[in-house]
Chain A
Amino acid sequence: MSTQLNERIRHHYRSLDESQEPVVWSEVVDELEGAPISLGSAPGPWRRIIAVAIAVGVVLLLALPAIWRQPEDPVVATTTSPAPSVTALTEGSSEATVTWTEFDGMPESRFSPFPFPDGFVWSGLGVFAPVAPASGVLALWNSVDGTEWKDTGHVHLDTGNGVMPAPGGLWWTWDFSSGLPAYQIWKSGGDAVSMSGYEESTPDAPEGLRWVPFPDGEPVPVGDVVLVPITYSLRYDWREILGLVPGQPLASWQISDRLFSVAPEGASYDEDGLLPIGVRAVARVLLTEHTNGLSFTNDDTGELLHFISHDEEGIEGVFLADGNETGLRSEVRRVGGLFAVSSEGNTRVDIWPGGLSEPFRSWQAPDTSFDVIKFGDIAIAYLRIGDSVEAFRSQDGLEWETHPAPPSGNGWFQVESFPDHLQLWINPFTFDENGVSGGGPNGYFISTDGETWEQVDTPGDPAVRGHLFQVEAGWLFLQEFSDSGHDCCYSGDQYFSSDLETWLAFDGIAGVRETAGPAMAWGDRILVPGYGSNWLGAIEVGD
């Protein structure tokens, strides 16, 4: 019967194919030139004149709405959603209703929602040029109720961008264009500070959402932290470049996505500088100059902890390094090849000088990963090397002690903190010059005390990566995503559970489009970012 199904599929698509005319060259030309005027038929000079006239006409047409816009018109558009679709899910005696709503109207983009402490949700919206996927404009959208989204400003970025949380209710974006790192640090509801020359905000943006120039050379207090203005140049001393002045509080200097990401508000800083919470049981992390780049080393042991490689053209790659007993440990962070440095940071070995076939942009790496989370009053750092995981805990980010190790596995390893539990997700994978591919099976673990773990039996394809999180109403949402070699796309199935035992499959998203990244719980709603096709969706689940 399976053979018959294959034959029927074959027959179906082959019949369609035979009845379909191929697209030929003349149609491609028509598509370009457009009816009814064919430039190809116009004689020499007229052809140019017609083309110019058409171009002017198009520009005028596009400009008309802006020309006609009255000052009182809202500058920002509020997105609206089409009629939500409702799906009833049942399995056994369990049932739920899922309402799926799409917010349409945002420009084609990569979209990521971010929670904000005062109830805002900020969204980084990158409009990417097809030539250089990581360039364009980062638009900032916000919503206070999860149903209406407004465009509140734009930041121009040339390469590399994103929005990351920083202490003190701040957010920051960064840009490594031309090897000159530039940062914007901003917050809502009060000050908004731009630390770079890029600033553009909509004129009518509410107070607190505008970008303002950062005073040159003067530390500026914003909330609970002090921002240090920096002149960016790779020629300067590294300490100066990163503003790492002894005794000087920092807003947040996350060199990689999450390596140093947990910085509690009001955290004290070590006399010698630097990072409020490192990763590993180190009291201090010193910044040292290195001929090949920027190194962070543990000043107690001399181990290299973090390394940014650069060349004359600029930042070549960022990668994590972790010293161990073998003396060599390397992790690729992005394009530019895979290389290793010694644990002292003075020897570099090119492993794949030609670079990987795809940009590998995940912060996690094959042999080592770091997770630092806050759980209640303590911070827990998880260091994975190969198959083993070590854990350390700290109450102030300075003194660290051993913490019971969680389950381990060589692959994707991610711990997330929720108010009443920790969640661990492991998905072994394989790694080669083509990047990373899933190898399954998944393992989901839950801990309510931060020390002991219980495995959760989850549905779905065990070889596909997933993301499990809790919605306020008590439902757990499991989002799968296939590995496409990029940070796009989450395209697997979704499941709901209220008890971690019965899972209700929801095909409402995967059946339609890929999503750009992990969904985010917001109250009793789940926000799901779209990719490449201008949408943001929300799921509401009810009994």
Chain B
Amino acid sequence: MEGNRLLQDDVSAGFTSFVRDVEPRIRRALTAAFGAEAGRDATAEALAYGWEHWDRVGSMENPAGYLFRIAQRRARRSLGSRVVVEPVLTSGTDPWVEPELAGALSRLSERQRVVVSLLHAFDWSMQEVADLLDVSKGSVQTHQKRAMKKLKKELGVEA
């Protein structure tokens, strides 16, 4: 009995540590893809799924990427083609607030938003983004280039 409890504690500690590590990553990516509320809900669902199947998920090579895809599928299912990109609340004097940005981001593809967010806002490397999305680095680069080109065009920014 004591042995089982210790084992369970170990598993629980392992998962807790995993959540601490990957939660911000998955949540930020999902927030960029689906908006703050849906992104956060999807993160909670994905982590719950991870805990339920921890014996398998924990031994995967890329558990964060796997859970991201689980969350992505569920969010797509519940949201359909609705995209929510929330504008940032501001005092009105912040020089870095671009009122048109939220609208322009919402017109990017889901993947383009995720790539732009993780690379430009959270300083991920191309490889880290590629790992989470389970795509090649070249693919990330393509999405990033296209997204920035589209944003510049929409916002009237010189190339």
Contact = CB atoms under 8 A, between A and B. Distances in A.
A86 interface: no
B45 A31 contact: yes
B151 interface: yes
B28 A17 contact: yes
Contact of A8 (B43, B47, B97, B136): B97
Which among B137, B146, B152 has the greatest number of chain A C-beta atoms within 10 A?
B146
Nearest to A22: B23
B134 interface: yes
B7 interface: no
Given A12-B121, A485-B135, A461 B142 contact: yes
A512 B109 contact: yes
Contacts of B70: 130
A484 B134 contact: yes
A511 B110 CA distance: 7
Nearest to B43: A23
A533 B23 contact: no
Interface in A431-458: 434-435, 437-438
Contacts of B81: 512-513
A28 B44 contact: yes
Nearest to A511: B109
B121 to A, nearest CB: 3
A6 B47 CA distance: 31
B1 to A, nearest CB: 13
Given A32-B52, A437-B138, A533 B76 contact: yes
A465 to B, nearest CB: 10
A23 B26 CA distance: 10
B88 A11 contact: yes
Contacts, number: 156
Contacts of A438: 136, 138
A529 to B, nearest CB: 15
Contacts of A437: 136-138
Contacts of A416: none
Contacts of B105: 9, 12
Contacts of A1: 157-158
Interface in A12-26: 12-17, 19-23, 25
A416 to B, nearest CB: 24
Contacts of A482: 135-136, 138-139, 142-143
Contacts of B89: 15, 19
A91 interface: no
Given A17-B28, A22-B23, A438-B138, A533 B73 contact: yes
Contacts of A25: 16, 19
A2 B148 CA distance: 9
Nearest to A27: B44
Given A23-B23, A32-B48, A17 B136 contact: no
Given A23-B23, A25-B16, A485-B134, A9 B121 contact: yes
Interface in B89-119: 89, 94, 96-98, 101-102, 105, 107-111, 116-117
B101 A8 contact: yes
Contact of A463 (B19, B98, B120, B138): B138
Contact of B86 (A16, A22, A434): A16
B41 to A, nearest CB: 9
Contacts of B56: 131
A2 B96 CA distance: 13
A5 interface: yes
Contact of B44 (A12, A19, A31, A108): A31
A7 B138 contact: no
A491 B72 CA distance: 15
B157 to A, nearest CB: 5
A12 B135 contact: no
B15 to A, nearest CB: 8
Contacts of B142: 461, 463-464, 482, 492
Contacts of B32: 13
Contacts of A464: 142
Contacts of B98: 5, 8, 12
Nearest to B121: A13
Contacts of A28: 19, 44, 47-48, 51
A509 B6 CA distance: 51
Interface in A470-510: 482-486, 491-493, 507, 510
Interface string A52-81: 000000000000000000000000000000
Contact of A5 (B31, B139, B155): B155
Nearest to B37: A20
A325 to B, nearest CB: 33
B52 A10 contact: no
Interface string A519-542: 000000000000011100000000
Contacts of B152: 2, 5
Given A108-B77, A482-B142, A512-B81, A12 B16 contact: no
A408 B45 CA distance: 49
A11 B143 contact: no
Which among A23, A131, A438, A534 has the greatest number of chain B C-beta atoms within 10 A?
A23
Interface of B: 16, 19, 23-24, 27-28, 31-32, 36, 40, 43-45, 47-48, 51-52, 56, 69-70, 72-73, 76-77, 81, 86, 88-89, 94, 96-98, 101-102, 105, 107-111, 116-117, 120-122, 133-139, 142-143, 145-146, 148, 151-152, 155, 157-159
9 nearest CB pairs, A to B: A13-B121, A31-B48, A11-B96, A482-B139, A484-B135, A8-B98, A9-B120, A15-B88, A533-B76
9 contacts: A10-B96, A12-B97, A16-B88, A17-B122, A22-B24, A23-B23, A28-B48, A483-B136, A533-B76
Interface of A: 1-2, 4-17, 19-23, 25, 27-29, 31-32, 108, 130-131, 434-435, 437-438, 461, 463-464, 482-486, 491-493, 507, 510-514, 532-534
Given A9-B116, A13-B121, A16-B31, 9 more contacts: A9-B117, A13-B117, A14-B122, A20-B31, A23-B27, A32-B48, A438-B138, A463-B138, A482-B138
